Structure 1
Amino acid sequence: MTNMKKENLIVLVGPTAVGKTDMSIELAQSFNGEIISGDSMQVYRGMDIGTAKVSKEEQRGIPHHLIDIKEPTEPFSVQEFQQRATKLIEEIGSRKKRPFLVGGTGLYVSSVIYDYQFSEVEEDNTYRQELEVFAKKYGNVALHEQLNEVDPKSYEQIHPNNVRRVIRALEIYHITGEPFGERGQQPPISPYNVSLIGLTMEREKLYERIDLRVDIMMEQGLLNEAERLYEAGVRNCQSVQAIGYKELYEYLDGKVTLEEAVTTLKQNSRRYAKRQLTWFRNKMDITWFDVTQEKDKMLQEIHQFVEGKLL
């Protein structure tokens, strides 16, 4: 019995604001590639500035997939992402192009690389409603702390404000007696021949870059973008739990000043970058490249790494 040749998959990950977009386009041009976005929020239409969505001009003719495929009121799950991305990898390969999976949402990227098996767990609507009432009465953080008691892994990976996912993780534990963070753990064997590239930089420099990017987003009209969603009645949706929107919603609700909202946005972005790096280092076998080194040298090193994997 002959072994099926594995499809090549080039994966580029890294924390927010590290420079994944530019690097992915340069590499895709070099390796005849098409890019699949591995970002859980770039799927939403009308959420361009806050998600740092690549513009048509920036794409430089490189096809990009899984961008602008959902309305902000629609849900989007890791399972749906995995199904769509897996199909796209096959389609891109059939065109004799190289698929690139690029993004910062660790769970989404891992689900494709390691072919996570998501077992279906039934729902317990009564228990779910109890948790929703608890969250309204005592707050998101108190609900999140409940998760820490039964499922520390999910507690680390799910933000307190993502109440929907916190409740689902608690519900799965309630039904199965097994922590969601322990379910479907796959050995790190991939169905693909993966070139796994990570972009990084010294932490303080990254944080400075994040703060600057928030300032630029505000200048570009992030507040107007959030106002459009707010006025369209997009509330209590997965999309506006994204960093950049939830903080400005607090301002639009009159709970904080704009200056306070922007300060919180910067702080949450830095914390998110830290969580991303923790995920990538704990969950993936990544070869890291420091983006602060001389660019041509870094590109040469990445080319050598990818070519070695492809051969």
Structure 2
Amino acid sequence: MTEHLNKGTLIVIAGPTAVGKTSFAIQVAQHFNTEIISCDSRQLFKELNIGVARPSEDELQTVKHHFIASHSIFEEYNAGNYETEVNSLLEKLFLKHKVVVMTGGTGLYIKAAIEGLDPLPPKNKALREELNALLNASGIEALQQKANSLNLVITKENASNPQRLIRAIEIAMQEPSTTLQNKVSRNYNTFCFYLDRDREELYRRINTRVDSMLEEGLEEEARTLHAHKDLNALQTVGYKEFFEYFDGNWSKEKCIEKIKQNTRNYAKRQLTWFRNQGNFVKINTSVEELLNHIPS
């Protein structure tokens, strides 16, 4: 493995929520005596803790983590910001570590970090004001009709999120400022893995995690954020369901049931994404197995 490590190696440990990424990444990081970069688009927000399963204080002290509680939900943040910041950090980390571990379940952030993103057109203030006026006057259904008229493929989740709808329409109605790019070339080696478990076991782990979150005070945490429920960062499983409960739309029982259901569905989508990438190797939580996949 010497030749690869001389260049600097990023080991990506991905997988669905509740699969056990954090504890395994810590084992791998301890093996290499290195640090961990989180690639979770919600754990980076300091206002979110219980609902995003932020690593415990003991875990954070065992191995140094980056991009945990590092930003605010009141800041605008996206995969492009992450790409820039994480690669700037990697340049510094590779000066003192031959290997760095990245872990999380946000596929877009991983892709941005290691491959780069196709450029998007800049925000158009006038168009955004026009679309917000349409939203205020005619409701989200008007935005959905606008998206359909542009032949946009919108997921069910995004179709109910006005901010994401507006951005999708905004992008579709503008000409890209540059042509699409190929994958960027990074000056480090990357090896990508994803963890998986038996479906029933994974779902049990998800249900148990949600129960633990409730015991730890998820409802109280969500209540402190309720006033900001329209922020993009809070369109997140575990919070948005409680907002429905706080608004009187759901019973508490339905809210909890929906958190578990939506988390299971999210895990299923994550697994599908990682399986379809082509460059992610499925492994169990064995450091030895992971090392066997890294060429010597």
Q: When the two structures are superposed, what TM-score results if normalisation uses the length of structure 2?
A: 0.87
User: What's the offset of the Cα at 1:39?
Assistant: 0.5
Does the aligned pair in 2 maintain the 1:49–1:220 contact within 8 Å? yes
Query: 2:185 and 2:41 mapped to 1: Cα distance?
Result: 23
Query: 2:192 and 2:156 mapped to 1: Cα distance?
Result: 21
Query: 1:116 and 1:71 mapped to 2: Cα distance?
Result: 23
Read off the aligned partner of 2:127 and give its amino acid letter.
Answer: Y
Does the aligned pair in 2 maintain the 1:144–1:160 contact within 8 Å? no
Q: Of the candidates 214, 224, 229, which is equivalent to residue 228 of structure 1?
A: 224
**Partner SS for 2:24:** helix
Tell me, which stretches of 5 or more residues in structure 2 are unaligned? 1-5
When structure 1 is superposed on structure 2, of 141-150 and 237-246 the one drifting more is 141-150
Q: 1:168 to 1:229 in 2, by over 3 A?
A: same
**Partner SS for 1:197:** strand
Question: What residue number does 1:198 align with?
Answer: 194
User: What's the offset of the Cα at 1:68?
Assistant: 1.1
User: What's the offset of the Cα at 1:142?
Assistant: 6.7
Does the aligned pair in 1 maintain the 2:140–2:162 contact within 8 Å? no
**Partner SS for 1:70:** coil
Does the aligned pair in 2 maintain the 1:147–1:166 contact within 8 Å? no
- Cα offsets for 1:157-190 (capped at 9, x unmatched): 97334432332122111112x7xxxx84634865
- Cα offsets for 1:11-35 (capped at 9, x unmatched): 0100111100000000000012211
Give the superposed CA RMSD: 2.7
1:248 aligned onto 2:249? no
1:24 aligned onto 2:25? yes
When structure 1 is superposed on structure 2, of 279-288 and 23-32 the one drifting more is 279-288
Question: What residue number does 2:65 align with?
Answer: 64
Does the aligned pair in 2 maintain the 1:135–1:143 contact within 8 Å? no
Query: 1:282 and 1:186 mapped to 2: Cα distance?
Result: 19
Q: 1:133 to 1:66 in 2, by over 3 A?
A: same
Question: What residue number does 2:174 align with?
Answer: 175
Aligned residues: 289
Query: 1:63 and 1:147 mapped to 2: Cα distance?
Result: 46
Identity %: 34
Query: 1:223 and 1:55 mapped to 2: Cα distance?
Result: 19
1:45 aligned onto 2:46? yes
Task: Give every structure 1 segment of 4 or more consecutive aligned residues whose post-TM-superposition deviation is greater than 6 Å.
Answer: none
Does the aligned pair in 1 maintain the 2:14–2:193 contact within 8 Å? yes
Q: When the two structures are superposed, what TM-score results if normalisation uses the length of structure 1?
A: 0.83
